[in-house]
Chains A and B, each alone.
Chain A
């Protein structure tokens, strides 16, 4: 069964902290994605990766970076968390030539 896991369901951090959100998939998918979900704004793509060590900016990359050192793991990094980064963060993965994305359960991040 397809599985995308995210390291935390809920996370509370302070302004200025460095935050790591981890995502792992067990499907041998080439593509991985990070979205943020906010009420009324839907799903917005932050970054995606189509291969190990490769990354591409999505629609809202400012304030974020990513790391993909292994095929199954894709990390989202907030270098210096700010209150406007309080959100639900969703990770997804897909096969290289397929567009169906499989999502993790999400991490609700609160920055105080």
Chain B
């Protein structure tokens, strides 16, 4: 089955800095890569996703890049703000598998200091 590795496990940045979280996956058939943000006391929420037919996707201050050859994808947050502090999870899935399950990474706790 799929295995998703996520690094780093914790990341501390100053407000205004950029943050990068990286994930690698093992199954070359995976073609859907979402990122979820979990704020304290809440369930994870989808913030951005990318499919294998594109290499990059942006939404305001967040962007995701995908390198299918190397089987890794990354989340980039620019101009970080204290409200970006949360746990971030990457995930991977094969949309052709017939089951809409996701394999998650272990998560990254991002701390943004004012």
Contacts and interface: CB of A to CB of B under 8 A. Distances in A.
Interface in B25-51: 32, 34, 36, 41-46, 49
Nearest to A98: B100
B10 to A, nearest CB: 11
Contacts, number: 56
B43 A105 contact: yes
A27 interface: no
Interface string A1-20: 00010000000000000000
B34 A42 contact: no
Given A90-B43, A90-B44, A99-B32, 9 more contacts: A43-B44, A43-B107, A44-B104, A45-B103, A58-B101, A96-B100, A103-B43, A104-B43, A105-B41
25 contacts: A4-B43, A31-B100, A33-B101, A40-B9, A42-B104, A42-B105, A43-B104, A44-B104, A45-B102, A45-B103, A48-B99, A50-B100, A56-B99, A59-B1, A92-B43, A94-B100, A99-B32, A99-B34, A99-B93, A99-B95, A99-B100, A100-B46, A100-B49, A104-B43, A105-B41
Interface of A: 4, 31, 33, 40-45, 48, 50, 56, 58-59, 90, 92, 94, 96-101, 103-106
